[in-house]
Amino acid sequence: MASLLPLIQTRGNTVNFFMRRSGPELWKTLTSVSKSGQKKGRRNTRQPVRPLNRFYRIGSSPMKVEFAGLNAPMRLNDENLMTIAEQTEDEIRDSMGGTKKILEEKDTGKKKRNREKLHPMERGFSGTQLVGQKLGAPPPVDGVNFDDFETYCLEVKRTSNMTNVFGRVHTMSALVVTGNGRGLAGYAVGKAPIHRTTTAIINGMGMASRKIFHVELHEGRTIYQDFYAECRNTRVFAQRRPRGFGLTCHPRLIKICEAIGIKDIYVKVEGSTKNYLALTHAFVTGLLNQETHQQLAERKGLHVVEMSPSRHFLPQIVASPISTELKTEETLEALDRLNLDDFYGEGRYPLRKPKALPFFSNLEGHLDARWRKHPFRNQESTMIRLIADNMVPRWTRDARAAWAEQRNERMTTGVEPMPLGIGLSHVVPKKDD
């Protein structure tokens, strides 16, 4: 065996700071946090203790060096303190791939989170996050079960509060709404310590189940009348829609409508659209303040008449006053003649922006083409009228020419009078030359 003794560099006085301290004490200098630092949340900024000896062990190397007294027995009268042992090809291959094996074991040791594959309609607002997904029924409260309720998480965010003892304290806040889809619903904000998102959502579900309210629904699918509501800088304009229209509104309001049971509605949101708590509060306030047809008839003392396009806008009485005396035309006041849209909307209407004109609307070629089409602007309506009145069997040149010739003969013989009007005030017979 070859000896490495001539290659060893000897040094005296090698005692230093790192040799006087143990490994745990040295790591403590990097990972320790004072009491005041722990209160301020500095523990999360410190790096963890890394197992350095996992990749490098003292006395082991790819060359298979043997140190007497370290990884090899000490023999008397042996001057070779360090020798290189002979290795086979398999041992050399295993020693070269040792680090790779450790890394592979590290990867396989991790517990991979098995995420359930959801339907695209159930994935929520952004992929695999809990925000917008169905979370099931809330836990029972005082023996009351909520098995037929469904819960949605509308928002999860981090909030902070400055205190004089602990400094800035961060917490997790979750806005949760729950409902049974038949008019019963509730919403609340659950809070939990930092990085405890699931705990915040569970706390919000418990609080929402204790704040249940009831919303009256027209025909079990939409609101009774259009309304306006606001909270802070969020303004909501809600309009009822016919059966089969669907939910056309803010994504958070869609989840609220599904929890309540609203199926057909149009909601226009103006102002702040990212303050979801104000948006929820404004919409729910508008729903709770609406009147049913019977309540409206009792308050006004008049019949409530509905003119639906399904009945060709023919009036139909849907509610009449019972405990209030019916008013007559002479006893009506000016306030009674106020439009209901102005009353419930508080004189406010959603902003309607005109449709933007295409870029070619003012180009010379486009204006020239419109001017060439101008003489034929009424041709389509004329075609429909003539075919509907059975004057022209088909809209062809021969059929139109035959109809024009027949009408000319009837006017010439006096059977049909000559139409007089704008541009034709008198008929003068042509003189014979």
Tell whether the model's pLDDT for residue 96 goes beyond 80. no
Q: 259-286: per-residue pLDDT in tens?
A: 999 999 999 999 999 999 999 999 999 9
| 276 in Cβ contact with 175 (< 8 Å) | yes
Task: Provide the CATH number for the domain formed by 150-214 in this structure.
Answer: 3.30.160.20
Beta-carbon count within 10 A of 298 CB: 18
Tell whether the model's pLDDT for residue 5 goes beyond 60. no
Contacts of residue 258, defined as CB under 8 A and 6 or more positions apart, other chains included, come to 150, 152, 179, 181, 247
**CA-to-CA separations, 70 to 66, 74, 184, 395, in angstroms, rounded:** 8, 9, 76, 108
Report residue 227 as tokens.
Answer: 């309304």
List the beta bridge partners of residue 170. 160
3-state secondary structure of 370: helix
Q: 304-355: per-residue pLDDT in tens?
A: 998 888 888 899 999 999 999 999 888 888 888 877 777 788 788 888 889 9
Query: 38-52, 121-135, 358-372: lowest mean pLDDT where?
Result: 38-52
- pLDDT top residue among 61 and 186: 186
pTM of the model: 0.62
List the beta bridge partners of residue 333. none
Average pLDDT on 77-99 reads 74
Residue 6 — very low, low, confident or very high, per pLDDT cuts 50/70/90? low
Residue 4 — very low, low, confident or very high, per pLDDT cuts 50/70/90? low
Residue-level pLDDT at 365: 96
Contacts of residue 387, defined as CB under 8 A and 6 or more positions apart, other chains included, come to 394, 395
Query: 142-151, 371-380, 412-421: lowest mean pLDDT where?
Result: 412-421
Residue-level pLDDT at 88: 81
Report residue 25 as tokens.
Answer: 């004490």
What is the distance between the alpha carbons of residues 317 and 191, in angstroms, rounded to a whole number?
49
Residue-level pLDDT at 179: 95
Report residue 312 as tokens.
Answer: 């060709």
3-state secondary structure of 247: strand
Residue-level pLDDT at 430: 75
Q: 394-407: per-residue pLDDT in tens?
A: 889 999 999 999 98
| 314 in Cβ contact with 307 (< 8 Å) | yes
Element (H, E) at 328: none
Tell whether the model's pLDDT for residue 144 goes beyond 70. yes
Q: 204-219: per-residue pLDDT in tens?
A: 999 999 999 999 999 9
Domain ranges of the chain: 15-99, 150-214, 294-342
Residue 255 — very low, low, confident or very high, per pLDDT cuts 50/70/90? very high
List the beta bridge partners of residue 191. 173
